[in-house]
Structure 1
């Protein structure tokens, strides 16, 4: 989808609603090494603000980008530490 980032892992949370996309994203990020990027694919429109808010409040996480394609929302999150 987005060639700018070297994706280490893709997390598919399509069909899951709040708070599961954020919970699953946190669990996946915890398993990444510093510098790795997680691609999160969701269908919950609330995931846009939820993941952005979570990333903003989490010191070792950086939200790189978010994209919308119809009813699919893709988030790119980097573990920084």
Structure 2
């Protein structure tokens, strides 16, 4: 999964409910450099559509991968600009 990119930072939002996973992801990405990838760990099932929708509708970010396992959702968000 992460063979295609290096993870610059991991954000653990396990236990947080909507909208906090997206809010905290945005805050973390804002502090990163262009090209960096943020790994987000969440337990809220709603985060699947929330983070995907946020990334699709936000300039300067790209959801490069997502995975689910062991009741944890993992997202890999690249800051593109």
TM-score above 0.5, yes or no:
yes
RMSD over aligned Cα atoms: 1.0
**TM-score, normalising length from structure 2?**
0.96
> Across the two proteins, how many residue pairs are aligned to each other?
81
1:28-78 deviation line (CA, Å, top 9, x unaligned) = 000000000000000001111000000000010000010000310000000
How far apart, CA to CA, are the structure 2 residues paired with 1:72 and 1:4? 21
* Partner in structure 2 of residue 48 of structure 1: 48
Query: Structure 2 matches for 1:31-70, cutoff 5 A?
Result: 31-70=31-70
For 2:55, what is the secondary structure of its paired residue?
A: helix
* Partner in structure 1 of residue 9 of structure 2: 9
Return 5+ residue gaps in structure 1 as ranges. none
How far apart, CA to CA, are the structure 2 residues paired with 1:58 and 1:21? 15
Offset of 1:2 from its aligned partner? 2.9
* Partner in structure 1 of residue 21 of structure 2: 21
